[in-house]
C-alpha cells in the first residue's frame, strides 16, 4: 500500500523598504496591494488618531490576509526590520497604542477592502516621535484545500510615525568614510561612500540633500542624493552611496550638504584616501 505525504512550503516576501521611504501604493507579486504604506501625523497627549488603509486584490483569486502589530528599526544596511516586538524600540514604540479592525479579512478578486486603525496616545506621553507598523500577511483562503506544491506568503507593511508635541531636531553628520565593495572576481575596486548621521534627539527626521565626491583640485566628480530614509530617535544611521568613479591611491574629499529637517543646510567635508588593496 502506497503512502502519500502532503508537503507544503511557505515563502515569505516582505515589501517593506518602501514603507519607510515613500508613502505610495505597493503591489506584491501575487497581486496584493496596500495604500498608503507610510503614515505620519501629529497628535496630542491623551488624543486619538484614526484612519484607514486600503488592501486591494489584483490577482485572479481571493486573497485572505491577517493583520499584526509590529515594531521596527532600520539596520546599518538601510533595511527596515519588522517583528512583533523589539526591546530596543520600547522607548519609541507606539505599537501598544494601536488597534486595527478587522484583524483578518478576505479580499475578493479585483476588489479592495478597508482596514480601520486607531492610535490612542497616553495622557502622560512626552514630546517625542514614536514609530510602529501594521503588517498584513497572506493566508490560505477559507475555500483552499491542502495539496502538493509551493504556497507563497506575502507580507505588506505600513509604517506609522506619530509625533507628540513639537520636539526639537538634534542631528549631525558624525562620520564619513570610503569602503570597498569589490567581490571576488570583480574587475577592479568598487567603492561606496558611507555617511553616518547621529540623532541625539527624541524625534525622527529624514535628511535631504546630497553627497559629492571631489578630486584633489576640488572638481566635483559625482553627486548623489540622500535616500529618503528616516533617522530614528537616539541612534546613528549609516547611509551608503555607491560611487561610479574609478578611484586611485590619492586624496579625495567627501562633502555633504544636507537639511536634517530644520530648514538649515549643514555642510560637512572630509578628506579621504581609498584603503590600499590587500
Q: Are 63 and 144 in contact (CB under 8 A)?
A: no
Domain ranges for the chain: 9-164, 171-272
Q: How many degrees, rounded to 5, is the angle at CA 163 between CA 161 and CA 168?
A: 120
C-alpha cell at 93: 514604540
CATH of the domain spanning 9-164: 2.60.40.10
Predicted confidence (pLDDT) per residue in 36-64, tens digit: 999 999 999 999 999 999 999 988 888 99
Using CB atoms within 10 Å of the CB of residue 130, give its burial: 0 to 12 exposed, 13 to 18 middle, 19+ buried.
Answer: buried
pLDDT for 27 equals 52
pLDDT in tens, 123-170: 999 999 999 999 999 887 655 545 545 556 788 999 999 999 999 999
Report the run of H or E that residue 19 belongs to, with start and end.
Answer: helix 17-21
The domain made up of 171-272 is a member of CATH 3.90.1170.40? no
| Confidence check: pLDDT of 34 > 90 | yes
Cell digits of residue 15: 515589501
Give the per-residue pLDDT at 181.
Answer: 85
Whether the pLDDT of residue 7 is over 60: the answer is no
Q: Is 171-272 in the same CATH topology as 9-164? A: yes
Reading the block at residue 255, the C-alpha cell is 562633502
- Say whether pTM exceeds 0.85: no
**How confident is the model at residue 58, as a pLDDT?**
86
Q: Which residues fall within 8 angstroms of residue 182, CB to CB, at 6 or more apart?
A: 188, 189, 190
Asked if 119 and 94 touch (Cβ cutoff 8 Å), the reply is yes
Amino acid at each position: 500500500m502506497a503512502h502519500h505525504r502532503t508537503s507544503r512550503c511557505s515563502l515569505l516576501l516582505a515589501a517593506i523598504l518602501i514603507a519607510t521611504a515613500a508613502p505610495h501604493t505597493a503591489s506584491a507579486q501575487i497581486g496584493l496591494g496596500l495604500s498608503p504604506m507610510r503614515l505620519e501625523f501629529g497628535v496630542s497627549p491623551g488624543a486619538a488618531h484614526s484612519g484607514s488603509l486600503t488592501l486591494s486584490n489584483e490577482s485572479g483569486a481571493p486573497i485572505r490576509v491577517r493583520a499584526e502589530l509590529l515594531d521596527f528599526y532600520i539596520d546599518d544596511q538601510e533595511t527596515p526590520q519588522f517583528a512583533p516586538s523589539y526591546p530596543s524600540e520600547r522607548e519609541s514604540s507606539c505599537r501598544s497604542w494601536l488597534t486595527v479592525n478587522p484583524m483578518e479579512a478576505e479580499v475578493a478578486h479585483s476588489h479592495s477592502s478597508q482596514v480601520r486603525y486607531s492610535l490612542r496616545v497616553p495622557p502622560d506621553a512626552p514630546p517625542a516621535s514614536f514609530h510602529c507598523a501594521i503588517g498584513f500577511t497572506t493566508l490560505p483562503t477559507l475555500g483552499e484545500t491542502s495539496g502538493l506544491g509551493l504556497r507563497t506568503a506575502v507580507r505588506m507593511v505600513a509604517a506609522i510615525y506619530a509625533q507628540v508635541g513639537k520636539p526639537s531636531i538634534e542631528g549631525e553628520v558624525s562620520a564619513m568614510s570610503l569602503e570597498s565593495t569589490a567581490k571576488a572576481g570583480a574587475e577592479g575596486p568598487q567603492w561606496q561612500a558611507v555617511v553616518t548621521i547621529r540623532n541625539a534627539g527624541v524625534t525622527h527626521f529624514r535628511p535631504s540633500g546630497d553627497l559629492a565626491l571631489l578630486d584633489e583640485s576640488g572638481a566635483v566628480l559625482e553627486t548623489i542624493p540622500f535616500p529618503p530614509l528616516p533617522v530614528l530617535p537616539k541612534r546613528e544611521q549609516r547611509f551608503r552611496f555607491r560611487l561610479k568613479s574609478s578611484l586611485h591611491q590619492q586624496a579625495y574629499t567627501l562633502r555633504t550638504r544636507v537639511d536634517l529637517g530644520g530648514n538649515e543646510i549643514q555642510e560637512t567635508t572630509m578628506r579621504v584616501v581609498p584603503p590600499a588593496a590587500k
